[in-house]
Amino acid sequence: MAQKKEHKHRVEITNRKAKFNYILLDFFTAGIALTGTEIKSIREGKASLVDSFCYIDQNGEVWLKNSCVAKYEHGTYLNHEERRLRKLLLTKKEIKHIKKAVEQPFTTCVPLKMFINSKGLCKVEIAIGRGKKLYDKRQTIKEREAKIEMSRSMKR
């Protein structure tokens, strides 16, 4: 019997700023179209989602823009570009839902994390987010500091 090779460590690249800058409303998991050297680089954990966002073009396709996947160090002259448009693979129903939500004022589509699933495929978790105001961000900081203080007092 052929057994699937288990991954020694799970690759999970997160966008921590997204949770701080946006109120997250709806979540989707999308596949991503990658080249050979890109997936190798992601499996090594050399990717970043900072300052990246998703948009829908006129053809009804969802694209991931500004994500950085570092060049594969063992690659040849056929290596990929670090920052290029990457197509996200979603169903028509999901794309329609995202398009409707993004048309609302102050909402956008942001990537939250990129990970390798149990089948070895790269997936991106995206969310519809509404931008936080400055007072919302201050409230988030206060709540985080209160949780830290509570955990410190419990340890004593």
- CATH number of the domain encompassing residue 51: 2.40.280.10
Domain count, the chain: 1
pLDDT value for 11:
83
CA dihedral angle for residue 130, residue 134, residue 139, residue 141, rounded to 10 degrees: 100
Tell me whether residue 44 is in a domain: yes
pTM, rounded to two decimals: 0.80
* Average pLDDT across the chain, whole number: 88
Model confidence at 123, pLDDT cuts 50, 70, 90, reads very high
| 3 inside domain | no
In sequence order, what are the beta bridge partners of 86?
64
The reported pLDDT for the residue numbered 9 is 58
Please state the rounded mean pLDDT for residues 26-36: 92
Model confidence band, residue 8 (pLDDT cutoffs 50, 70, 90): low
Q: What is the pLDDT of residue 86?
A: 92
Question: For 73-77, 79-83, 114-118, which range has the lowest pLDDT when averaged over its residues?
Answer: 73-77
Q: Please give the residue range of the domain that contains residue 122.
A: 12-155
H helices present in 47-133, as ranges: 92-102
In which band, very low, low, confident or very high, does the pLDDT at 132 lie, cut at 50, 70 and 90? confident
Lowest mean pLDDT, pick from 36-50, 74-88, 114-128: 74-88
40 in a structural domain: yes
Which one is predicted more confidently, 111 or 71? 111
Contacts of 44 (CB under 8 A, 6+ apart): 11, 72
